[in-house]
Amino acid sequence: QRLNEQCPIYRVPVEYDLSGARAIKEQQVGKSMAGEFITDLFIKTLPTIIFTILGIFTIFWLLGYLSVLPIGSLTTINNLVLLWAIGFTVMGFGVIIRTSFMYRKGFAPNTMVELVSNINVSPVRPVPALIDGTIIGKGIPGHWLSEDLYFQDKTGRMYVDYRFGFRLMDFWWALRRADQLVGQNVKIQGWYRRGPGPYLQVDTIWTQDGKRFRNYSKHMTYILAVLFFVISAIVFYLWFAVI
């Protein structure tokens, strides 16, 4: 807004009118975004919160069991193992909830200006988007092994994040595919996020000649959920059969 105010002084036209930015922000999220921040933080750290609570409870149980603290035995070892089994199950569902929140459905056509004008966005709280334009270069200019791209439509440019979540696949994509897309008209389906800068995380890319490229970073997050469920099953088995 201050830059807009200086334009008449230097007799230059206003390229982007930001005079209504505060009103747009308050219209979208109100005067404070504390509620959104707390929700995002809770969703992002949900499995960690559950693990931390169980860990603290176990430490206090161990200190009481060893008579290091005069708190007595909080529960039996049998119940403690059951608590961990339930906890790992809840952590598995926590990962699924987090993935559902961070990788939402409902993709709709958007332009760059429409996306960056949306205030209520974070790395955890995305906007499912469908954009149409041209790949104009690598995400990191001059970096041969950059898997990310730069996208442009009629309203602006944006960084496109193609990280797969598995470095070998990122390397293969950068080596075999990324350069082929530069200069092509494409349609990209993905999630618009806002970190230090705005970017679009790829779900699917369609090229003008009919090729389709999927990104399975969303599906990779379910591996952690499966791991938690497997550990939970093992601990439940110990609770039933051993302890």
Highest mean pLDDT among 21-25, 58-62, 232-236: 232-236
CA distances from 178 to 167, 209, 211, 223 (A): 15, 16, 13, 26
Query: First CA to last CA across the chain, in angstroms?
Result: 66
Q: Which pLDDT tens digit goes with each residue over 104-162? A: 999 999 999 899 888 889 999 999 999 999 988 887 777 767 778 889 999 999 999 88
Rounded Cα distance between 42 and 78, Å, is 30
pTM of the model: 0.81
DSSP 212-233: EEE--HHHHTHHHHHHHHHHHH
Q: Which pLDDT tens digit goes with each residue over 132-148? A: 999 888 877 777 677 78
Q: Has residue 231 got a pLDDT over 80?
A: yes
* Structural domains of the chain ordered from first start: 2-31 (no CATH), 35-102 (no CATH), 108-216 (2.40.50.200)
